[in-house]
Amino acid sequence: MTLIQTIVAFMVAIGTLVTIHEFGHYLAARLCGVKVLRFSVGMGKIIYSRKLGKDQTEWAISMLPLGGYVKMLDVREQGGVPIAPADMAREFCSQSVWRRIIIVAAGPVANFLLAIFLYTVLFVHGIPEPVAKIRVPSADSVAYHAGLRQGDLIQRINGQSVRSWNDVHWILMQRGLEKKDAEIAVSRQIIDDNHSISGERIVTLPLTHLSNQDLEGDFLTQLGFSVQRPPAVLGQILPDGPAQAAGLKQGDVISQINNRPVLDGLALTEIINASAGMKLKLHVLRQAQELDIDATPVVDTVNGKTIGRLKVQLTLTPEMLTVRSTLAEAIAQSAQKTFDTSILSLKMLGKMVTGEASLKNITGPLTIADYAGQTSRSGWISFLSFLALISISLGVMNLLPVPVLDGGHLLYYSLEVLTGKPVSERFSAMAQRAGIALLMAIMAIAFFNDIARLMS
């Protein structure tokens, strides 16, 4: 069932993105007066088609789902067959260079507009996201030395307002890629004369030491902080387990293990997992009582690794909030997010070209299918977020100045604007062959990375 859902989610995602992209080309061609012969979702052999409209445009579904195309009336593709005089004005190459630019650019633009639309829907509806509260488990970490403390609520980063943990991750990753430190404003609860006072602190978090490889991974954990987790409160006590045998009860709070403080539920899980078969002294808060209870986690094996289990349920989900925006705010935020994501993608591509970032970041259809399945199982909000991100990636990729891609054609037309004449057919043919070779190499790397991820 999981495999079927993954395949369906992948087909829906790719089908939607390709259709929107090609419809951008189609609509621009029609608006510019160019005759469209065929609109195909998919490549290769046509498995279904139907001709519609005054021009009898063929609407087709083809066998290979990884792509699509819009076939326009083009003298270069006639194979020597003359074009009817009545249609010459509607032939693609006879259009002005600016119309050709509009038609070619419309595909990627359609992908960006789709992303803006999807993000707008999500922002207006509301997205559940973790609250921007900090977990700082170690006093030896970069975050602690910078001045961040357990339970700090991040308000702003370099003057930019923060609404959720996702904002924290996004802004800090951008600052890290720019090799700039982050000035973080946090709200901190201070106990003074048995009164809780909320005060603001400004701390400077160093990020310039992070490499691009660090930023590709879980760099926040490397800096020594993450999103805050709930306290170590025991949930359901499972039968016939060490927790039940030791007398632990639902609602018990574990404050210490072997006289060492337990930060939260995640810390409790980590300690228990690392203590298989070892007797532990648990300091328990049970309503108004404080108890010391001994318990020995049973030995279990997960993926070939030995871990300890108390057989008790814990809540590790961070505190959540629903981030909502008005329609006007959502449109502005969506446009900004689409722009920022596009720029970040270009920066990462540039770093891969210069060797500053790993080629392992290149993903192919297998990884996209896997993420499509995962996000679809998480709910429609996750799936639409994934769809928006892939739509941006598709738009950025197609704008790269690589022959055979939209960006390559835009490069040709830009040269035509500058020189006043189109590029030669010989140069165009040579560039096409080079572009195809480059794309084949990229696809080979993508498939290799996909298989390596699946095997790991």
60 closest CA partner among 73, 72, 50, 45: 50
Contacts of 419 (CB under 8 A, 6+ apart): none
Task: Check 22, 200, 356, 416 and give the catalytic one.
Answer: 22
φ, ψ (nearest 5 deg) of residue 424:
-70, 155
Q: What is the spatial distance between Cα 146 and Cα 207, in angstroms, rounded to a whole number?
A: 11
201 closest CA partner among 181, 189, 186: 186
Residue 290 among the catalytic residues: no
What amino acid occupies position 74?
A: D
For 187, other C-beta atoms within 10 Å of its C-beta total 15
φ, ψ (nearest 5 deg) of residue 132:
-80, 50
For 406, other C-beta atoms within 10 Å of its C-beta total 24
35 closest CA partner among 89, 109, 102, 107: 89
Q: What is the spatial distance between Cα 297 and Cα 245, in angstroms, rounded to a whole number?
A: 11
DSSP string, 378-395: H-HHHHHHHHHHHHHHHH
Active site residues: 22
